[in-house]
Amino acid sequence: MRFFTWTKRVLLLSLLSFAFALPPDYLFYQKVKENPSLAKEFLKRFPDSVLRDSVLLILARKEPQYLKLIDPYRLSQGQREEFIRLSKAKRGIVLKYPELFLEELKNFKFGEEEKREVAKRLYERKLISEILKANLKVCPYYGIALYKKRRLREALKFLKACPDKLSRLYLNRIYLRKNEISKVYSSCLEDKSFCLDAGLFYFFKGLLPLSELFLEKARESFRKNFYLGLISYIRGDYSKAITYLSRAKKLSKGKEELSRVSFFLAKAKANLGKDFKNELLDSSRGKGFYALISSLLLFKNYLKVEKVEAKLKETTLNWKEIYDFSPFYFRLEVLKRKDRLSYGDYAQIIKLDPYIGAKVSPFLEFKYPRPYKIWVKLASARFKVEEELIYAVMRQESFFDPYAVSSSKALGLMQLLKETADWVSKRFKIPYKNLFNPKENIILGTAYLSYLLKLWKGNKILAIASYNAGPNRVKNWKRYEDEFLFIETIPINETRRYVRKVLENYYIYKSLP
């Protein structure tokens, strides 16, 4: 009897270990690494595997023709470096992925169309300086790069010779910066699309009469009428604001625009003592920050999350095994299967990698997780900053990726610049060694948030704006008693969107159990 019971246990354990083993393509990949001659067999058996590009790289070591089949962004960092080393003399690959071969670009002589394709790719990747370094003198990208580096005189000279519309738009922006209003006005008369650009430029400069002049001449659009409505709202002409905002509502595309315009339409009607509830309802049915605010105003609660305890054990893979095999392939596997994953899958994924879990999960409680709880609680208690605000900033800054690096070299979970971290460290006497360390990054980021909140006497909107744009910039911005109006008049696009998104995150975290 004991022997029979022992046998059953062994059989059960073997079945469980089989059920939770690595998927077959991972097991076969281990064989390929030991015996590269099996690589072609792997590709036949598992053509859709996330490991495909890694296997192609193994083949390419002896058969370089396989390099052109590889997507380098599906390789780990070490593998990508090998791909670059093997491919740097391959013209076709360099043309396809110029951002990976910045040092090699100067070794190639490109034709005009090839230069344009390379410059366009670098422009789309926000590698503006590299366009100038590689001397890619093609319209419009070289001129735009000069403009963004504030080399306006050179940009003006270059863009004048470019016939395309994007070059003319940036030429117009140079005239705007140089305050050459007559040239801007002439451009507006020639092409009404330039009128909108000029109108928005003057709006965010706070020059409302000039903004109105150009916006009125622009083609009919959501943005034209929305900003004309805001100008009237700022002036206290709520009847005129309602006229423009009603037009903007009819021209809105997508739920976010609908929510935004309906919210301000409700505010304009409220200021005239008119019934505004229907507008607020329309706003709440949309998407984004203003939908959330409208829902809170109407219903006092934005979210209802139902726990799906029974589904927690339903999983399609043993995600821990895959994560232990490679965090990189883990992310690729989640992305590949995201439309087929269960609640239980996401419950596992979010514990292993909050970044990819929050990015792709359809379940709200996993979209807004609370990772690194111990350190967030510690930082919250120490610096008197709400946990929800810490998470709101963290989610927007890094999406919970502790190794995140921005184009401006901000690092880690709270995306701190080295100079900011050093300043905070000195001011608060917080020693640190590594900004990729979650504990150190959260402590420093929260300390900086607490400083900004004190600076602005607890005003979250100004503190959040300062976290993104810096407090010295924010000090120079025009402030309105109406905080929503202040948000919409923030002169930096990135900061305006950032403030809305962090506030949305904050209120969602406040609403979640």
Task: List active site positions.
Answer: 397
Q: What angle do CA 185, 187, 188 make, to 5 degrees?
A: 60
Q: Which segments of 319-432 are extended strands (E)?
A: none
Rounded to an integer, what is the distance from CA 416 to the centroid of its chain? 16
C-alpha span between 206 and 210 (Å, rounded): 9
Helix axes 152-160, 141-148, angle to 10 degrees: 160
Which of 400, 495, 381 is CA-nearest to residue 446?
381
Q: Are 144 and 169 in contact (CB under 8 A)?
A: no
In single-letter form, the type of residue at position 410 comes to: A
C-alpha span between 430 and 379 (Å, rounded): 12
C-alpha span between 56 and 74 (Å, rounded): 11
C-alpha span between 475 and 308 (Å, rounded): 47
Q: Are 63 and 315 in contact (CB under 8 A)?
A: no
C-alpha span between 285 and 489 (Å, rounded): 24
Backbone phi, then psi, for 250, in 5-degree steps? -65, -30
Maximal C-alpha separation, the chain? 99
C-alpha span between 212 and 218 (Å, rounded): 10
CA separation, residue 16 to residues 13, 20, 21 (Å): 5, 6, 8
- Residues present in the chain in total: 513
Residue 416 in 3-state DSSP? strand
Helix axes 77-87, 52-60, angle to 10 degrees: 40
